[in-house]
């Protein structure tokens, strides 16, 4: 029983920490591949005017939506997932798969220049955080436990995305 209580307490702490936000470090969020042109640089006030409060919390403050609640978690339509901040095409629907994590997951982005990665050392672990290469918006994280052909799992917040149906 003590082990179960300890385990449940740990899960509660972990999930509440995931929902907390972190301020945007502009040196990381604007890290882009040299092939991505016309990067977008806006002030916090400009972003706040254009995004909903929840979009701002995730895209600009590195927040996380709760698992299994996002609009695109269970979307099976054909099309393209784009950045909710700037409209950049990010993930084709044919790379989406059910990872069982509660967030939309993809094994590959549209191309190598549409997303950027930075080191995330929060929550007592080191992960690769994924950003839109054009506007620097926080999308989620990428892990090396995905399916073939890439072996990658881009675990992305639905609220960071829009969808253009084919």
The verdict on whether 155 is a catalytic residue reads: yes
Q: Which helix (H) or strand (E) holds 81?
A: strand 79-83
pLDDT in tens, 63-86: 999 999 999 999 999 999 999 999
Distance CA 21, CA 118 (A): 16
pTM, to two decimals: 0.78
Q: Which helix (H) or strand (E) holds 11?
A: helix 2-18
Asked if 152 contacts 144 with a C-beta cutoff of 8 angstroms, the reply is yes
pLDDT in tens, 74-122: 999 999 999 999 999 999 999 999 999 999 999 999 998 999 999 988 8
């Amino acid at each position: 029983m003590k082990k179960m209580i300890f385990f449940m307490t740990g899960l509660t702490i972990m999930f509440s920490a995931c929902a907390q936000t972190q301020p945007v470090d502009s040196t990381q969020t604007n890290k882009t591949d040299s092939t991505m042109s016309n990067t977008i640089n806006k002030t916090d006030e400009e972003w706040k005017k254009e995004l909903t409060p929840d979009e701002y919390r995730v895209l600009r403050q590195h927040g996380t939506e709760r698992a299994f609640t996002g609009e695109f978690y269970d979307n099976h339509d054909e099309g393209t997932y784009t950045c909710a901040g700037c409209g950049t095409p990010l993930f084709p629907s044919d790379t989406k798969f059910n990872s069982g994590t509660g967030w939309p997951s993809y094994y590959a982005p549209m191309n190598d220049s549409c997303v950027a990665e930075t080191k995330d050392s929060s929550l007592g672990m080191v992960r690769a955080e994924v950003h839109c290469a054009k506007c620097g918006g926080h999308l989620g994280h990428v892990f090396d436990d995905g399916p073939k052909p890439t072996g990658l799992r881009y675990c992305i917040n639905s609220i960071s995305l829009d969808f253009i149906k084919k």
